[in-house]
Amino acid sequence: MLKMPGLTETERAGCSNILKLMSAADLMSLSDTVTNKMIVVENVTEAMETILSFTRSAEELLKRKKVYRELIFRYLAKEGVAMPPNSEKHQLAKRTLELWSSGKVLVEEEKLPGGPGETRLSQTSETGSSDFDPSVLGQQFCQWFFQLLNSHNPSLGQPPQDWGPQHFWPDVKLRLLTRTGSEQMEEFLGAELVSLRLVALTRDEQLLLSPNLEPRGLKTLASPHGLVLVAVAGTIHRNQACLGIFENVFGLIRSPLENHSWKIKSVNLKIRGQEALGGAETSAPALTYNSSELQLLCS
């Protein structure tokens, strides 16, 4: 297939991820548009390749009518780029082009052939560097996870993103400790139950979890056996009120299906309400776990 000049590797990867969010009918229609119906495609894979090959610039593709505002919004959210829900299409397109020109794409989600969606978190740049750095993975994972989870809070007015059990290992375990007046411990085992309980926090209880991604609020540890622990502290809100703080420790393990694919193996979530904090500062909470405590949590 002819590949016309114009798209950098980063732009091509980004455009591809936006096209993956489109319906099959819209992809076929867009393929007809960019080729003036000169090329007949048989399926969505051919349609995507044709669109990318005949697109002269990333800006041209983002301006296409079939590339709806909501698609660009969802793409940026998956990249960990927060935009106001009422942003206009041209503003979203401008921010997307800025992201691509920086040469770094933080988060992308790929569908593996014949299987559910895998979370793919990788450092990418125009040189194709993918050296593993646990601290970078921790930043990327938290941006992706909380953006995804918060999108299901109806008060934000955002389109809900692709949440589900596909982001967890089948035997994932969730420990949820809540201190709001009284103390309550809940435990859930299995991808379906863990997924449903976590999304209920934002979708049903309308909580908004805001992680503190500064060094005092985020810690990442990598074990020699492939487990990466990501611990993050943050604040919990409902509407305009700050209800308290949380500390969340995730255990992540690479999927053997693909080198840069990670899934959640364990979640330890501790929530403390304002009354349990005794007037302590909540604006940018710090982690209370030390490294040895983190290793014990997810052992």
pLDDT at 197: 95
pTM value is 0.56
**149-202 pLDDT, tens per residue?**
999 999 888 788 889 998 999 999 999 999 887 889 999 999 999 999 999 999
Q: Which of 1, 226, 248, 16 is nearest to 134 (CA)?
A: 226
| Contact (CB, 8 A) for 167 and 264 | yes
Domain locations in the chain as residue ranges: 9-103, 134-297
pLDDT at 297 over 50: yes
pLDDT at 173: 95
CATH class label, 134-297:
alpha beta
Helices (H), the chain: 9-19, 24-35, 44-53, 58-63, 69-78, 89-101, 134-150, 191-203, 274-277, 291-297
